Amino acid sequence: MRMESARFKQASVVALHDMNLRTALARSRDGFIGGRQRAIDQVPEFEQLREDAKRIKDHVLENLDHYLMRYEEAVTASGGHVHFARDADEARAIVLDICRQANAKTITKGKSMVSEEIGLNDALTGAGMEVVETDLGEYIIQLAGETPSHIVGPALHKTREQVTELFAAHHRLPPKETVATLVAEARSTLRDKFFRADVGITGANFLIAETGSSLIVTNEGNGDLTQTLSRVHIVTSGVERVLPNLDDVAVFLRLLARSATGQDTETYTTLSTGPRHVGDPDGPEAYHVVLVDNGRSKMLGGEFRDMLRCIRCGACLNHCPVYGSIGGHAYGWVYPGPMGSVLTPLMQGLDGAYDLPNACTLNGRCQSVCPVKIPLPQMLRELRHMQHRARLAPVAQHYALAIWRYVAAHPKLYHFGNACAARVLALLGGRRKRIGTLPFARSWTSVRDLPAPQGRTFMEQWPRREKS
Amino acid sequence: MNGSGRDARDAIFENIRSSLRRDALDTVAAAALDLRIAHAPRHTRPALRDDLVTQLVEKFQARGGSVASLARLDELPAMVSSYLAENDLPGRIALAEPLSGLAWPAHIERRSDAAGRGDLVAVSVCIMGIAETGSLLFCSGPDSPTTHNFVPDHHIVVLRRGDIVRHLEDAWAQLRQRDGGMPRAVNIVSGPSRTGDIEQTIQLGAHGPRRVHVLMCD
């Protein structure tokens, strides 16, 4: 999909004034945060599980080539095919080729963030194929012609009334008002697509070297109908998703459901290994895995390696005050929130996503809830350093920082400047001791007064107090 | 894999190794990792109560599943018959092959191949219950078509109390001992299908079964 992260500021302003969005965001935030807390309160071992998961992932990343190789061998041994794609273009071409070979007309899809990352839907529909998203949230935004606003709940920005209108317009059926009737209508509409599909595409939460399996978790069962009822099953996944052994997967399943949706487990956990066996009454005839690099192998080498531990649970989004105010679309690409503010600049370039690392308040909640302990604030700070070094910051900001750095490194000059500012601001504050408008700080003073200082700095007052 | 596919693969492995600042692992290091693939160290497992049956039942019911007891397996046809009557369902079931030898009444039409659009009820045997998460585990194959777990509205599942394991790791251990290696699909089912995608309101019966009914027997 096209990246529009450069419009972050404008998009944020629009989002802040969208009352539907604010209602939807407040509701989902409360649901996610409370749900996660209740779920982990019941597992005293949660902190140990986080440590285990971090240790497992670090070990895998340190040996990623070997585990990937063994995973590939295991998939091949089970009768499946593994394809490697360096970037989004290659990944799209591979999937398109498989679909053409299968003479595909209808393609169903389970939720896959990697398929969003590589812009798969446009490529397939561009080639004349019908692509149907089957996760209810993904289906809603597909009808709306939008992109996901949340990596777990793609349509959380939509209110029920908006879904009613969308369904009525697209299904040509009488409008349904309740959640139950809306879900029932989606179920019956998509049922037909599942049975008609030639190819089913899903993501993978994990890949397992021991067995050559891909694993998905869903609550709806859409991923399972997608892969069971089509002739060809294609899995799209990042190269970093491999784990050595099934026992390792258990640790991550315990963390994922609780962190993502506040449940002990998602409803369906499915391990898929190769195509239909001889004698099997159902299942796909062919099984393909497309492993996408798209910047991941490069990330492995630098200070952003920890980001490859991410299991896409969305907890950092749910706990981010910035995401909670503006929602996912303002971030302008596939991955929003804290994890997206790290991934987007790394995958799409530092310059096009300049505002994302800078929008962070560095409050640290994302890191404290991350099930695999990714130091997100530290990474966002590092991205700011990189932007500064690459001179991507606005020129005025670049010079202002340079001046500040010089002044801060010269205490006498710093104190003199401070003393001057304190006097000027006190004067501006007048008898009310409040400043209603201030040049260079209009975005602050346009909505609130700036309290004026007393006229003497702390450093000036301190020696006097000492004497008295 | 064609020529450019091979190129992409090699380039990715080269990039990974260059990022890791090393060449491909030597045989000693590789052998250690292969051992790690075959045997994971023991990771943290949440403490559970001793009574696995109660643990499974409570978790399963908390997720919207229903549970009843089956004194003897040969009572199954009568139980299914009254389930169909109570829920106003047609006399037609997708039936797991291992259950087809029971004395089914003539008015219930039975099939054991893949479930299709017309199938509203499936009757299955699950090979394992997992107490930790309150889940049922199915392995695809002629005795357990995957479509039976997802296509019908109602899924009636026979579970033997002795087949309940404690943790996920215990389920994996049993899978490893199966003849013929991994089945194409391992489905772990924890209650009816659900979605929270509209206003985070939990709604059962999204795409999979609206109801999953477990019949426990010894």
Give strand pairing partners of A102: none
Give strand pairing partners of A270: A216, B187
- Residue B16: pLDDT above 60? yes
CA–CA gap between residue B181 and residue B141 (Å, rounded): 12
Query: Nearest CB to A264: which of B8, B133, B198?
Result: B133
List of residues 6+ apart from A16 with CB closer than 8 A: A22, A325, A326
Residue of chain A with shortest Cα separation from B111 = A281
Q: Are strands A286-292 and B66-69 parallel, antiparallel or unpaired?
A: unpaired
Give strand pairing partners of A234: A201, A288
With bands split at pLDDT 50, 70 and 90, how would you rate the model's confidence at B2? low
Identity of the residue numbered A271: L
Q: List the one residue out of B129, B98, B111 whose CA is nearest residue B191.
A: B129
| pTM value > 0.90 | yes
* pLDDT for res A134: 97
Decide: A369 and A41 in contact? Cβ < 8 Å.
Answer: no
pLDDT digits (tens, 9 = 90+) for B75-121: 999 999 999 999 999 999 999 999 999 999 999 999 999 999 999 99
CA–CA gap between residue A354 and residue A346 (Å, rounded): 11
- Residue A467: pLDDT above 80? no
Shortest Cα distance, chain B CAs vs residue A443, angstroms = 33
Q: Chain centroid to CA B181: how far? A: 16
Residue B130: strand, helix, or coil? strand
Q: What is the mean pLDDT of residues A431-441?
A: 83
Q: List the one residue out of A151, A139, A158 whose CA is nearest residue A331.
A: A151
Listed in order, strand segments (DSSP E) in B60-174 are 66-69, 92-95, 109-111, 121-125, 128-130, 135-139, 154-160, 164-165
Q: What is the mean pLDDT of residues A379-388?
A: 94
Shortest Cα distance, chain A CAs vs residue B179, angstroms = 14
The full 3-state SS of A351-385, as one line of letters, equals CCCCHHHHCCCCCCHHHHHCCCCCCHHHHHHHHHH
With bands split at pLDDT 50, 70 and 90, how would you rate the model's confidence at B59? very high
Q: Number of C-alpha atoms within 13 angstroms, CB side, residue A163?
A: 29
- Residues of B with Cβ-Cβ distance to A299 under 8 angstroms: 19
- Residues of A with Cβ-Cβ distance to B45 under 8 angstroms: 45, 250
- Residue B3: pLDDT above 70? no
Q: Is the Cα torsion angle A453, A455, A456, A457 positive or negative in sign? A: positive
Running DSSP on this structure, what letter comes out for residue B141? B
For every residue of B162-181, DSSP letters joined together read: GGEESSHHHHHHHHHHSTTS
Q: Number of C-alpha atoms within 13 angstroms, CB side, residue A243?
A: 28
With bands split at pLDDT 50, 70 and 90, how would you rate the model's confidence at A1? low
CA–CA gap between residue A80 and residue A92 (Å, rounded): 19
CA–CA gap between residue A113 and residue A260 (Å, rounded): 14
* pLDDT for res B1: 55
Give A98 or A391, the one with higher predicted confidence. Answer: A98
- Residue A428: pLDDT above 90? no
Q: Do A222 and B206 touch (CB under 8 A)?
A: yes
Q: Chain centroid to CA A161: how far? A: 26
Q: Do A211 and B141 touch (CB under 8 A)?
A: no
Residue B32: strand, helix, or coil? helix
* pLDDT for res A118: 97
CA–CA gap between residue B136 and residue A6 (Å, rounded): 47
Number of other residues whose CB lies within 10 A of the CB of residue A46: 19
Q: Which helix (H) or strand (E) holds A311?
A: none
With bands split at pLDDT 50, 70 and 90, how would you rate the model's confidence at A24? confident
Decide: A366 and A316 in contact? Cβ < 8 Å.
Answer: yes
CA–CA gap between residue B156 and residue B139 (Å, rounded): 16
Identity of the residue numbered A364: G
Quick one: tokens of A383? 């991205």
| pLDDT, averaged across chain B | 96
Q: Do B16 and A272 touch (CB under 8 A)?
A: no
Decide: B134 and B59 in contact? Cβ < 8 Å.
Answer: yes
- Residues of A with Cβ-Cβ distance to B18 under 8 angstroms: 301
Query: Nearest CB to B185: which of A52, A59, A283?
Result: A283
List of residues 6+ apart from A448 with CB closer than 8 A: none
Q: Chain centroid to CA A359: how far? A: 15
Decide: A193 and A133 in contact? Cβ < 8 Å.
Answer: no
Residue A271, phi then psi, degrees to nearest 5: -100, 125
Which of B195, B201, B203, B204 best probes binding to A when mutated, by most A CB atoms within 10 angstroms? B195
With bands split at pLDDT 50, 70 and 90, how would you rate the model's confidence at A27? confident
- Residues of B with Cβ-Cβ distance to A136 under 8 angstroms: 195, 197-198, 206
How many residues are given for chain A?
A: 468
Quick one: tokens of B127? 């090979």
- Residues of B with Cβ-Cβ distance to A27 under 8 angstroms: 199-200
Decide: A290 and A234 in contact? Cβ < 8 Å.
Answer: yes
Q: Is A184 on the interface with B (CB under 8 A)?
A: yes
pLDDT digits (tens, 9 = 90+) for A198-226: 999 999 999 999 999 999 999 999 999 99
Q: Are strands A268-272 and A213-218 parallel, antiparallel or unpaired?
A: antiparallel
Residue of chain A with shortest Cα separation from B9 = A84
Q: Do A274 and B184 touch (CB under 8 A)?
A: yes
Radius of gyration of chain A (CA): 26
Number of other residues whose CB lies within 10 A of the CB of residue A359: 19
Decide: A413 and A404 in contact? Cβ < 8 Å.
Answer: no
Query: Nearest CB to B44: which of A158, A213, A251?
Result: A251
Q: What percentage of chain A exceeds 90 in pLDDT?
A: 82
Q: What is the mean pLDDT of residues A296-317?
A: 97
With bands split at pLDDT 50, 70 and 90, how would you rate the model's confidence at B156? very high
* pLDDT for res A465: 82
Q: Do A66 and B200 touch (CB under 8 A)?
A: no
Q: Measure Cα distances from B32 to A205, B176, B202 in Å.
A: 26, 20, 46
Residue A179, phi then psi, degrees to nearest 5: -60, -40
**Burial of A43 (C-beta count, 10 Å sphere; 0-12/13-18/19+):** middle
CA–CA gap between residue B61 and residue B213 (Å, rounded): 10
Shortest Cα distance, chain B CAs vs residue A206, angstroms = 14
* Residue with token string 């109390």: B161
Residue of chain B with shortest Cα separation from A26 = B199
Identity of the residue numbered A360: C
Number of other residues whose CB lies within 10 A of the CB of residue B3: 7
Q: Chain centroid to CA B118: how far? A: 22
Shortest Cα distance, chain B CAs vs residue A458, angstroms = 50
Q: List the one residue out of A296, A370, A304, A359 whose CA is nearest residue A332.
A: A359
* pLDDT for res A85: 98
Which of A224, A240, A308 best probes binding to B when mutated, by most B CB atoms within 10 angstroms? A224
* pLDDT for res A444: 79
Q: List the one residue out of A353, A363, A361, A307 whose CA is nearest residue A331.
A: A353
Residue B149, phi then psi, degrees to nearest 5: -80, -20
Q: What is the mean pLDDT of residues A259-271?
A: 97
Q: Is A119 on the interface with B (CB under 8 A)?
A: no
